[in-house]
Structure 1
């Protein structure tokens, strides 16, 4: 199996190193990651400047762009083969509920999915890399599973509690939960007295009931959510057609 690995925390992040080490025994891997942390970059592509590809001492490739850039460049010009799987992560911090819209980790996997390749995004629920070895072990187990009942390509979003492997309760198939609105921006003054703004914290969970990703990880389970990209509001399509008559 040939696997393309990327992330949004950058090529030096412990998560991508752990993921590569976990998958190397079972696959031929190539790592193409951003040169620095690009969290929250979503599915953005860099169109206003050229991109450069570099190779690190550990063999990883890194690009001065977004996670989507990394996978896009790899698939359309950097690799001499089409990967069997695109894997992103392991991210430092959860990507659940509405957060998936902003996630660079999920975006890297999505870029592979858009090219017709099965893709999986992995994230740890809490920041700090606690029990990263456990998350890497889970990542390998998920990659090794044969999702024969899923239509290909598939796009899976996996969130792993920061627990020792032995304390994880298992794996659950989940749907995305929902959050309340984000907290207000944080206003400050820069050294010159000019007003600046920091994006505020994410909103609290609004829908975290049974069956959601929030509920699964809160109870010690690994959450796997199948995602799709079709943004068409099918329920409103007929109403829109009627309003145009």
Structure 2
């Protein structure tokens, strides 16, 4: 089995090293094509207004000065000797759940793989302190989760979104298949700061306040020490609203 790895935290990220260890439990044929620098929050953006540079930093190991989507497409279209059988994206330093999934570069890389017809999995790790992420938890459980996914497969238009809780490996309470949750309070904020020339600038951040999610959601699973596996797809159509609008415009 040939596996392609990518991420949005950058080619030197600790989470990518963890993902490489996970992938090598599944196969020896592992390729890495990842952004040269941190591309968090880039979602599914692609680079159209400039050329992309690729740097080979090791055997089957490339850095791209572009987005996660750029990386996956270049890997499959140009850099790899054959199409991969599986794409793994991550392990992200921080969970990708609820509203995060639409802005996540980690999930975007997996979506790009899915659009190319390749089974793709996004993996992320919840943490309170980005400098104290429990990578050993992802390493301990990652390969097992992926094997279970591969055993039965999943629909071609679906990405498996895996999130590990912020607990020690032996404190993980199991795996729960979940639906995408929704936070009940504002999660993203803008902080106003002043530079040395007394000019204002703004910096986005996340407040990290816990919400009170219902059971069965990705949020609830992580809060309760479970690995969350959520099947995601790109169809954003709201079915009941569509049906209501159809009735109105048919009058």
TM-score (norm 2): 0.90
Structure 2 residue 124 is matched with structure 1 residue 120: no
| Aligned position for 1:75 | 76
Is the 2:36–2:66 contact (alpha carbons within 8 Å) kept by the matching residues of 1? yes
Q: CA deviation at 1:57?
A: 3.9
Q: Where does residue 110 of structure 1 map in the other structure?
A: 111
Q: Which runs of 4+ in 1 moved over 6 A?
A: none
Match of 1:216 in 2: 221
1:163 equivalent to 2:164? Answer no
Cα RMSD, aligned residues only: 2.0
The answer for the alignment partner of 1:141 in structure 2 is 144
What's the offset of the Cα at 1:53? Answer: 1.1
- Deviation digits for residues 38-83 of structure 1, max 9, x if unmatched? 1111111011101011111475211000111100111222223121
Aligned residue for 1:232, secondary structure, equals coil
Residues 78 and 158 of structure 1: is their aligned pair in 2 closer, same or farther, counting only changes over 3 Å?
A: same
Question: How many Å apart are 1:26 and its aligned residue?
Answer: 2.2
CA distance change for structure 1 residues 66 and 209 in 2, over 3 Å: closer, same or farther? Answer: same
Q: 1:23 to 1:49 in 2, by over 3 A?
A: same
- Deviation of residue 183 (structure 1)? 4.7
Distance change (3 Å), C-alpha of 1:207 and 1:85 = farther
Q: How far does residue 152 in structure 1 lie from its aligned partner after superposition?
A: 2.9
Q: The residue matched to 2:131 in structure 1 has which SS?
A: coil
Q: Which residue of 2 aligns with 1:19?
A: 19
The Cα shift of 1:112 comes to 0.5
* CA distance in 2: counterparts of 1:57 and 1:73, whole angstroms: 17
Partner of 1:225: 230
**Separation in 2 of the partners of 1:25 and 1:7?**
19
Q: Distance in 2 between matches of 1:205 and 1:184?
A: 15
Give 3-state SS (helix, strand or coil) of 2:216's partner: coil
Worse-superposed segment, 62-71 or 191-200: 191-200
TM-score (norm 1): 0.92
The answer to whether the Cα contact below 8 Å between 1:181 and 1:203 also exists between their aligned partners in 2 is no
| Number of residue-to-residue matches in the alignment | 245
Structure 1 residue 243: Cα displacement: 2.4
Q: For the Cα contact (< 8 Å) 1:5–1:30, is it kept in 2?
A: yes
1:208 aligned counterpart, secondary structure: coil
Structure 2 residue corresponding to 1:243, chosen from 229, 233, 249? 249
**How far off is 1:150 after superposition?**
2.8
Partner of 1:42: 43
Q: Which residue of 1 aligns with 2:5?
A: 5
Partner of 1:234: 239
Pair 1:191 & 2:191 matched? no
Cα separation, partners in 2 of 1:183 and 1:3, compared to 1, 3 Å: closer
Q: Secondary structure at the match of 2:113?
A: helix
Q: Is the CA contact 1:155–1:226 (under 8 Å) kept in the aligned structure 2?
A: yes
Unaligned ranges ≥5, structure 2: none
